[in-house]
DNA sequence: CGGATCGTTGATCCTGCTCAAAGCCAGTGG
DNA sequence: CCACTGGCTTTGAGCAGGATCAACGATCCG
């Protein structure tokens, strides 16, 4: 069994095992379930060519999606533009995130994805994903989990936008990114790479750049965080968490219920019917 | 082939075929893909006992989810409470909606679901869903699609909360519900059942009850809508759409790309590998 | 009839927006 | 090495969309 780095607590060791492939993804999944060595290598071999995008470049435009992307390096956003130029950033994509696990069913994307920094993605053929899904229940479960997490993140954003004040929102987002980056081993000490302008932060949180600036300033003066030059330093995690009212349980970095694990394992060897 | 009511345009005929089971679900799916008669009956037989909930009752509390629910009747909300009592409504559930297609993977729910009106749901065993998924690729595709749609709705809500003004948000939500109800045949003429208080509307849109009231008043005076007594009457769809800046394409009531359809159909008869 | 819940309206306040100008780089070109 | 530029941050002054609070009507229901 490959268990990877299964803790939620700080941990900065690098991922074991070979190439540059899906290490972040595998590591992220390891927070949730343990895949067998076989499964891990099956996952690894599901790779297409690596594609590279420059800062600001669109990874997926509005049109019909063809492939699934796995982020392997960089920082990207999903976003939507309104006709009058208003922009809303929907999510941030970090290494290990799946771009569009099943959008191939759709006629068109309802939003775009752009790289904020030089970004690498592995493009996987839809067909490879689908056949893997039908062959490896445990991998399927892991991918489902990733989708669930993604959805939970969206819901949490809704809560933030609907019911939290500016300061809370900002603190919340910073907490969330901390946990997510943590889960793929991208946290060094108390800080992480955050290649965002204040305007982009605002576009994610429904705020204007100047106001974001003021709030950041306030948090800096209070020595809670220091956000500058593409890097966020968290000076006081406790305070930040508290300001945010953050509770990370929605990220579900926690193994699934025991029976479910068993159930998926039992499907591994054929007969899906005879589950305990 | 069962094609059901596959149009997006107004249509009020009732769903053909037997019992009270998953008719709304099947009808909704029919907007997107056509299932065979076999598949439809397979779907129909995946039913557990029907459970009933009264107005205001919780359907799913915070705890560990065990089953998948399919809404067959009524109107419900997913919501989250913050510690200080603030509430955010995340989504509205209408007949044909799946409650929690794969949350069984999680240790705990991060939000709750409550009935706004007397509501019926069919509780399906997780295991039945999972085995159906592995046996019927086309059904799987349909369920995936439903999940995608759900996610798109969440994203669109984020856009609304982040970047739209109060009036736009309200109009937007009303448009969305119109389309969704339309897709399951719950629109009569220009109006639909909307058993919401203004406070609940506010909780969904990040607004206070009084302000919701003012905006509704304004829209009523302008003869765009009339919202009263658990029913919304749309007086001027064009104006409403325009006020909202609504574009329904994110709901993806549109068949999937041809090759994908073929691909899933090809998997129907065994060998997942030999796709065109 | 009394009580609850919900809708309506007004007065007032404040969070966060707008607009504008000035500083601060990092990169570029001379 | 300097000047210039363009993006980003910082700060200020003023404004407004929507919040708050409070009171009063409806309506429903036992």
* pLDDT per position as a tens digit, A97-150: 998 777 777 888 889 999 999 999 999 888 888 888 878 888 888 888 899 999
> Which range is least confidently modeled, A225-234, A252-261, A267-276?
A267-276
**Contact assessment for residue A168 and residue A244, using Cβ atoms and an 8 Å cutoff:** yes
- Closest-approach residue (CA) in chain B for A84: B245
Tell which strand C nucleotides have any atom below 7 Å from a protein Cβ: 5-11, 15-20
Q: Three-state SS for B209?
A: helix
Residues of chain A contacting B87 with CB distance shorter than 8 Å: 163
> Which range is least confidently modeled, A67-71, A256-260, B20-24?
A256-260
Tell which strand D nucleotides have any atom below 7 Å from a protein Cβ: 7-13, 17-22, 28
Q: Could you give the C-alpha distances from B22 to A86, B72, B95, B189, B208, in angstroms and in order?
A: 40, 7, 9, 24, 36
pLDDT in tens, B69-85: 999 999 999 999 999 99
Mean pLDDT, chain A, whole residue set: 85
Q: Three-state SS for B52?
A: strand
Listed residue (A51, A54, A56, A90) closest to A71, CA to CA? A51
CA angle A134, A139, A144 (to 5 degrees): 90
pLDDT in tens, B181-216: 999 999 988 899 999 999 999 999 999 999 999 999
Q: What is d(CA A188, CA A62) in angstroms, rounded to the nearest whole number?
A: 35
Q: Is the dihedral of CA A163, A167, A168, A169 positive or negative?
A: positive
Does the distance separating the beta carbons of B144 and A105 come in below 8 Å?
yes
Evaluate if residue A11 carries a pLDDT over 50: no
Mean pLDDT computed over A200-213: 98
Q: How far is A21 from chain B (nearest CA, A)?
A: 23
Beta bridge partners of B51: B121
Q: What is the pLDDT of residue B16?
A: 37
Mean pLDDT computed over A92-98: 96
Question: Nearest CA to the C1' of D8 belongs to which residue?
Answer: A197
Q: Could you give the C-alpha distances from B207 to A163, B146, B196, B210, B217, in angstroms and in order?
A: 9, 28, 14, 8, 15
Nucleotide nearest to B210 (CA to C1'): C8
pLDDT top residue among A23 and A271: A23
Evaluate if residue B18 carries a pLDDT over 70: no
User: Considering chain B, what percentage of its residues have pLDDT values greater than 70?
Assistant: 86
Which residue of B106, B269, B273 is the best one to mutate when testing the A interface, meaning the one whose CB has the most A CBs within 10 A? B106
| Residue A4 backbone zone (phi > 0: left; psi -120 to 50: alpha; other: beta) | left
Mean pLDDT computed over A86-103: 91
Mean pLDDT computed over B26-30: 90
User: Considering chain A, what percentage of its residues have pLDDT values greater than 70?
Assistant: 86
Does the distance separating the beta carbons of A151 and B151 come in below 8 Å?
yes
Q: What is the pLDDT of residue A7?
A: 36
Q: Is the dihedral of CA B265, A59, B151, B166 positive or negative?
A: negative
Q: Three-state SS for B121?
A: strand
A165 touches strand C (CB under 7 A): yes
Give me the CA B27–C1' D13 separation in Å, rounded. Answer: 57
Mean pLDDT computed over A227-234: 93
Beta bridge partners of A39: none
Mean pLDDT computed over B153-172: 98
Q: Is the dihedral of CA A84, A195, A100, A207 positive or negative?
A: negative
> Which range is least confidently modeled, B58-62, B82-86, B92-96?
B58-62
The token duo for B163 is 């970047």
How distant is the alpha carbon of residue A207 from its chain centre? 22
pLDDT band at B276 (very low <50, low <70, confident <90, very high): very low
Helices (H) and strands (E) in chain B — how many of each? Answer: 9, 10
**Contact assessment for residue A48 and residue A122, using Cβ atoms and an 8 Å cutoff:** yes
**Contact assessment for residue B246 and residue B238, using Cβ atoms and an 8 Å cutoff:** no
Does the distance separating the beta carbons of B90 and A257 come in below 8 Å?
no
Evaluate if residue A229 carries a pLDDT over 90: no
């Amino acid at each position: 069994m490959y268990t990877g780095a299964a803790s939620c607590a700080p941990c900065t060791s690098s991922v074991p095992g070979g190439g540059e492939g899906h290490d972040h993804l595998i590591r992220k999944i390891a927070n949730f379930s343990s895949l067998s060595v076989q499964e891990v290598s099956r996952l690894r071999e599901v790779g297409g060519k690596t594609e590279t995008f420059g800062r600001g470049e669109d990874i997926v435009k509005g049109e019909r999606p063809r492939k699934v992307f796995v982020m392997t390096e960089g920082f990207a956003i999903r976003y939507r533009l309104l006709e009058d130029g208003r922009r809303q950033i929907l999510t941030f994509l970090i290494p290990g995130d799946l771009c569009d696990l099943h959008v191939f069913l759709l006629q068109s994307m309802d939003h775009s994805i752009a790289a904020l920094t030089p970004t690498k993605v592995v493009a996987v053929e839809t067909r490879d994903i689908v056949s893997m899904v039908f062959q490896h229940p445990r991998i399927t479960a892991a991918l489902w989990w990733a989708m669930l997490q993604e959805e939970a993140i969206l819901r949490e954003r809704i809560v933030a936008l609907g019911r939290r004040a500016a300061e809370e929102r900002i603190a919340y987002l910073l907490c969330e990114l901390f946990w997510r980056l943590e889960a793929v081993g991208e946290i060094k000490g108390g800080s992480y790479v955050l290649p965002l302008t204040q305007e982009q932060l605002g576009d994610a949180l429904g705020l204007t750049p100047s106001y974001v600036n003021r709030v950041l300033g306030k948090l800096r003066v209070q020595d809670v965080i220091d956000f500058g030059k593409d890097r966020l330093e968290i000076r006081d995690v406790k305070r930040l968490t508290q300001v945010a009212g953050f509770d990370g349980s929605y990220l579900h970095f926690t193994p699934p219920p025991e029976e479910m694990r068993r159930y998926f394992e039992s499907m591994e060897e054929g007969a899906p019917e005879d589950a305990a």
